[in-house]
Amino acid sequence: MPRLLVLVLALCLIGGAAFAGLLALQSCGARLPLLPGWLAASCPDPAARDAAARLEALRRDQDLLRAEIRVAEQALSRLRCEAVHETPEPPPPARAEPPAPAIDAEAWRARDVGMLDGCWSLDSDYRVQDMETGAVTDYTEWNMCFDGAGQGRATMRATSGSTCEGPIGGRFDGSGRLVLEESGNLGCSDQTAIFRRIITCSLLPDGAADCSSHQPEAGRTVPVRLRRSPGAP
């Protein structure tokens, strides 16, 4: 009887161990053809474990990045930036134009037209209006060059780039004023023309001349200042 009892107990222990082993295999996804599939699987799939591990690693990386961003924001909040204004280099000094020589007052008083020999500049905000189109043209350069006999040419340059040129002669009138008279209308490169002008000048104490430019055909008179061109003899 005791031997039978021991044998029964031994069989029970063996059966229990086998049953526990089967349960462990079933819990890890093992399937045995001899067992029905009524035991529920509890071990996760390896792919699921890998995905969970990667997700956890990404969460840790995200937490680290957030911590680094907070540190950077705190560092930026402590910065005090000062604007730096660079001082531009000063422009090079303008090239000084040589002073214009004074008009020969003695030759003027002697009414010697030979004093005109050389080139002259006329200072005036000169503008003309086309009588047909109404277009206004501004001229910023007005020069005259003469020979020793008082004969020369007048040249004008407009802001548009067009130029006008024509003959002009000089003489003194009975009152000692210098008269510069164009022989005809001044033809221009843009196919227009400036009505001829008679320019009458009086000598000024500063070595220049005060003039009035009159256009008989247009009935227009404008003030002009006559001076030797810089560098002229």
pLDDT score of 43: 58
Return the DSSP state at 199: E
Residues of the chain with pLDDT under 70: 1-44, 80-86, 94-98, 231-233
Provide the 10 A C-beta neighbour count for residue 219.
Answer: 8
Determine contact, residues 208/199, Cβ cutoff 8 Å.
no
Structural tokens at position 179:
């008269």
Long-range contacts, 171-180 (Cβ 8 Å, 24+)? 171/113, 172/111, 172/113, 173/200, 176/108, 176/109, 176/111, 177/201, 177/202, 178/108, 178/202, 178/203, 178/209, 178/211, 178/226, 180/144, 180/211, 180/226
Q: What are phi and psi of 86, to 5 degrees?
A: -80, 135
Model confidence over 144-198: pLDDT tens digits? 999 999 999 999 999 989 999 999 999 999 999 999 999 999 999 999 899 999 9
pLDDT score of 172: 96
Length of the chain: 233
Q: For the CA atoms of the chain, what is the radius of gyration?
A: 54
Assign 3-class secondary structure to 98-122. Answer: CCCCCCCHHHHHCCCHHHHEEEEEE
pLDDT score of 179: 97
pLDDT score of 166: 96
Determine contact, residues 178/170, Cβ cutoff 8 Å.
yes
Provide the 10 A C-beta neighbour count for residue 210.
Answer: 14
pLDDT score of 32: 47
pLDDT score of 9: 55
Q: Cβ contacts of residue 159 below 8 Å, gap of 6+? A: 137, 138, 139, 140
pLDDT score of 55: 83
Structural tokens at position 131:
């009588």
Listed residue (78, 67, 65, 178) closest to 120, CA to CA: 178
pLDDT score of 231: 59
Determine contact, residues 211/201, Cβ cutoff 8 Å.
yes
SS3 state of residue 131: coil
Structural tokens at position 162:
């067009």
Structural tokens at position 227:
């001076």
What is the pTM for the complete model shown? Answer: 0.57
**Separation of alpha carbons 32 and 29, rounded Å:** 10
Structural tokens at position 47:
């792919």
pLDDT score of 174: 92
